[in-house]
Structure 1
Amino acid sequence: MSEIYNVYCDESCHLEHDGQQAMVLGGVWCPESKRQEISQRIREIKVKHGLGKDFEIKWTKVSKSKLDFYMDIIDYFFDDDDFHFRGLIVPDKTKLNHDAWEQTHDEWYYKMYFNMLKVIFDPQAKYRVYLDIKDTLGADKIKKLHDVLCNNSYDYSRQVIERVQQVHSHESEQLQVADLLIGALSYLHRGLDTNVAKLKLIERIKQRSRYRLTCNTLLREAKFNLLIWNGGAL
C-alpha cells in the first residue's frame, strides 16, 4: 500500500503588485501516519512555555519575550526525522516579464507552485496538499492548482496527488511551522534587520540546516530543501 504524505503550504509576498521584491513559496511535509504525533509534540512545546495549546505559531509574532519558545519549535523541526521543508524563493519579482512568456501572473504563480512541490512528489506515494486559507486563494484557484500539479506530474487520474484543499492555519500545527520557516526566509531575502529576535531565529535555522539560506541546496536534500529561482527552466 502506498505511503500517504501530508504537505502543508504557505506563501509570502506572492502578489504581483504588493510592493515587495522577494517572494517565498514553501511547504512542510510528513507521513500522514505521523501527523497527530507531530501536532501533539508541538502542542507540548507550547504548554512548556506557558502558552495555550491552541496558541498560533506565526512569524509575525516572533519577539524577544517568545524567542526561547520559537527556538524550541525550530529545534524540534530539525530533530524530527519525519518532518521536512521545501522552499522556493524568487529574489526579485520586479524583474519578471510575463508578456515575454505570454503568461499572466497567476499562470506563473501556478508554475512556481509546481516547481516548489515537484521535488517532494514520489510517483510511488500519495499526497494530500493543504494550503492556508487566504482571500487571495479562492476555491477556483485551489481547483486550478490541483489541475496544474496533476497535469505537470502526469497524474491525470489523481492517483498521486489525491487532494488539494484549504485549511485554517490555527487548526494545523504543521501549517504554523511552514509559516514560521517561510517568514524567516522572506525576512532574510527582503533584507530586513530591525527585529533582533527574528534575526536570532534565522541564525538558528542557518546553524541547524547548515545552509546560508541564500543559495540552492542539492536537489535531493531531504530535510531543508531550497531553490532560489532565477528564471530558469521549470
Structure 2
Amino acid sequence: MQFEVYCDETMPDLFTSSKRRGRYLMIGSIWIPAKLRNEVKEKIWVLRKTHNTWGEIKWTKVSSARLPFYFDVIDLFESYGMDLRFRCIAVDSEQVDMHWHDNDEELGFYKFYYQMLHHWILDFNEYRIFCDTKTNRDPARLAMLKRCLDAANISSRISSIQALPSRHLVLMQMCDLLLGAASSRMNKTLKPSSAKEAVVKRLESHLDLDAEQICPTYRSARKFNVFQIRLQGGW
C-alpha cells in the first residue's frame, strides 16, 4: 500500500538558542494513504470556500475570527478515523547531550527526525515523505535520512524524501496545526480562554485520551501519537 507522510517541526532553535521559548523541540507528521490525498485536499478547499479563508493554515494564524474554520479542519481530521493519523516526537532540550551527536545540533535534529518516522514505517508498504523547507548547513541531510530509513526498513520502500514549502502542501499545513496544538500542551504555552485553547480543546474532545489533555501517549496510540523520547536511559 502507498502512503504519504507530511512533516513539520516547532521550536527547532531549542538546541542552539540561549533564550528558550519552551522546553520541548517537536517534530510532527501526518500519515495518509496516497489514494485519499486528493479527496482530503478537496474537502479542505470546500472548507476554505465555506469560511472564505484562503491563507495558509497555520497554528500561529489561529484567531477568534477564524475559529469556525479551524474547528472544521480539526473535525475533518477526526472524521477520517485511522485513515488520517498524526504522530510527533517531543525532545526535552534540557536532557539533550550533543556529545552523542558529535556536538552537531543539526545532526541531532535529524536523528530525532529518524526516530519520529522509523517506528511507523511498516513492512511491504511504500512511503513518500514531504518535509517543510529548511536551510541546512549540510545539504545532504535528507539524503542521509533516506539512506538510514532504507537500511532500517528493508521490507518496505521509501520512494522519496522531499523538502517543499508548506504553502504548497495543505496536508503539511494541517500537520502544522496539529503539531502546534500538541506543542502548546507540552510546552505549557496556552493562554486561558484564547482561540488557540478552544482549538486544542476541540481536538482533545475527539481523542480517546487517558488524561483530559494532550500529553505523551503509549506507543500503541494510532490516531494521535505523542512520543516523548527517553534520553536518560532506564526501562
User: What TM-score, normalized by structure 1, do the two folds share?
Assistant: 0.87
Change (3 A) 1:232 1:208: farther
Give unmatched runs, 5+ long, in structure 1: none
Please show how residues 1-234 of structure 1 align to structure 2 within 5 Å. Answer: 3-15=1-13, 16-18=15-17, 19-20=20-21, 21-52=23-54, 55-81=55-81, 82-90=83-91, 92-99=92-99, 102=102, 104-136=104-136, 139-154=139-154, 160-194=157-191, 196-211=194-209, 212-217=213-218, 219-231=219-231
Aligned residue for 1:124, secondary structure, equals coil
Aligned residue for 1:149, secondary structure, equals helix
Distance apart, 1:222 and its partner CA: 2.1
Whether the 8 Å contact between 2:95 and 2:232 is mirrored in structure 1 is no
Whether the 8 Å contact between 1:62 and 1:198 is mirrored in structure 2 is yes
Percent identity between matched residues is 26
Whether the 8 Å contact between 1:59 and 1:180 is mirrored in structure 2 is yes
In 1, Cα distance between the equivalents of 2:103 and 2:148? Answer: 14
In 2, Cα distance between the equivalents of 1:119 and 1:137? Answer: 27
Distance apart, 1:136 and its partner CA: 4.2
In 1, Cα distance between the equivalents of 2:84 and 2:162? Answer: 20
Distance apart, 1:141 and its partner CA: 1.8
Give unmatched runs, 5+ long, in structure 2: none
Aligned length: 224
Task: Give deviations 1:107-144, integer Å, cap 9, x for gaps.
Answer: 32222112111232112100000011123487422212
Distance apart, 1:65 and its partner CA: 0.8
Distance apart, 1:146 and its partner CA: 1.3
Whether the 8 Å contact between 1:110 and 1:148 is mirrored in structure 2 is no
